[in-house]
Structures are given as C-alpha cells and as structure tokens.
Amino acid sequence: MLVAKETLEKIKDNFGLNHYEIKIWTSLLSRGIAAASELADISGVPRSRCYDVLESLEKKGFTIMKIGKPIKYIAVKPEEILERIKKNVALETQVNLRIIDSIRTSDIYKELELLYKTGIERIDPDELTDIYTGKSEINREIKKFAERATHSLVISTTKEGFQRKLKLLKNILPDAVKQNVKVKFVAPLDYKQLAAFEGSYKIKSADNKLRFLIADNMETLLILTPENTQPENERAILVKSEFVSNMLHELMCI
C-alpha cells in the first residue's frame, strides 16, 4: 500500500523518524512481516541502505527482528509505540521540572533575580526605543548606528558576521577612525585575521555568539535572533541605556 507524501511527512514529524525510516516502517506496517529485500522493493529505499535503516528502527523500538533465513522483520503496533512515546515524554517532563525547581534555589538564579531588580529600576520603558524586523532594515540601522558614534564603537559578532560587518560598514568605519572613534570588534577570529586588521581596529578574539553594537557606551543595538535565522525573520532592538551598555561591557570583558 502506497502512502501519500503529505501523510509520510506528518508521520515523520510526529514520530521523530527520518525520510528513509518512515518509508520502511510504513511499508512494514502494510505487510506485518517482511524481509529487507522485500521492503526495499516496496518502499523505494536503496537496498544498500535498507539494513542500516532497519537496524535503526529496531533500536528505536519500531520493529522486531525475526531470526531465520532470510532474516525478517515484524512491525510493532502503532498503539504500542504511542504508549511508549507518551511514557518517555512524561518521564522527560518530570526530569525537566525537577531541574527547573533546582535552579530556583541556586546561586545563579539569585544573581539573575538581583540583576533584574537592579536593572529594572534603571531602565525606563522609553529607553527601549525601536524594534527592527528583517535583515535589510537591520542593516540600514547598523549603518546609521555606526555613523552616530562619536568616540567609541564596539561590534560583537560571529566569525561569519565579522566579514559581513566589514563589507557593510566599509565606507563608515575608516571615516570613524579618522574622527578618532575607537572601533573594537569582539569575534572568534584566527591569527591570520587578527594580523590582517592589526592597526586598523582593536579586536578581541573570543568564542562568541552574541551579536550587538554599542555606541559611545550610551546606546546598544541588540540582534535578537541567532546566526542562521532566515533574513526576513531577523529581529533587533535599540536600547538607549548606559546601564545595558556597561552590563554588556562587563559580560564580554571589553
């Protein structure tokens, strides 16, 4: 029995299987018991991959191996698999809840509470000035942000982001340096990259995933989405707060 592509995709997502696994499993369900060669013909999965896929399904509890010549495989009832998944989810939830409860009594949690209480008193809602959506809009604001800096500009970015920022700000950073603006990058760069820009900008090499810009220790542009986010889904926020700027300086030791 052939299963529609849309149905296969839904089953794959719900049961946490890959493309080949779901094809083999649904083919085996339609037969109840079958040899690997037979399943390869039914499912369209290459015979060279069929044994690996069946071994993976057995480890995950979706099939049972029946020893014989040839070796055959038996499909586990979907109801049994659902019950097992349900139990695993419940167990995982209990473990996560215990971890969360233990965090409440930790020193780290107390420090976060203190940071929030002291920080919230210093940050006025009006200081959260703008939110930017989409890579194009954020890039336009990065240019304006860099141009506003009068004495210091810190750019924290990823290794890939470092090259993008250099290209984006190629007409702004050299002029800023001429105007005695201290430009500093925080990025995970190698020795060759550090040497190439020595003398142009201050660079701190750090294993860094945080993306933000700080101008004159007074305003911060925070990129809220991770490096691999789709361009149209990128988000950034502009915060005009000396407290936030100083906090990021201390966090990154810059």
**What pLDDT is attached to residue 10?**
63
Fold of 120-252: Endonuclease; Chain A (3.30.870)
What fold, for 5-78? Arc Repressor Mutant, subunit A (1.10.10)
Please report where in the chains the tokens 């201050």 appear, as a residue.
202
Whether the model pTM is above 0.85:
no
Do the first three CATH levels of 5-78 and 120-252 match, i.e. the same topology? no
The mean pLDDT values, 10 residues at a time, for the chain of 254 residues are 56 73 85 88 88 88 85 86 81 78 71 61 57 91 93 90 89 90 86 64 80 91 86 88 81 71
Strand segments, DSSP code E, in the chain are 33-35, 63-66, 72-75, 128-133, 152-156, 182-187, 202-205, 212-215, 219-223, 235-239
Rounded to whole angstroms, how far apart are CA atoms 64 and 182? 66
pLDDT at 221: 92
DSSP 210: -
Model pLDDT, residue 120? 47
Residue 110 is encoded by which pair of tokens? Answer: 């107390």
In angstroms, the CA 142 to CA 134 distance is 12
pLDDT at site 6: 62
* CA 130 – CA 47 distance, rounded (Å): 56
116-140 b/e with 16+ CB inside 10 Å = b?
eeeeeeeeeeebeeeebeebeebbe
Half-sphere exposure of 212 (CA within 13 A, CB side): 22
Task: Say how far apart CA 216 and CA 148 lie, in whole Å.
Answer: 9
Q: Which residues partner with 202 through β-bridges?
A: 184
Domain boundaries defined on the chain = 5-78, 120-252
d(CA 11, CA 112): 41
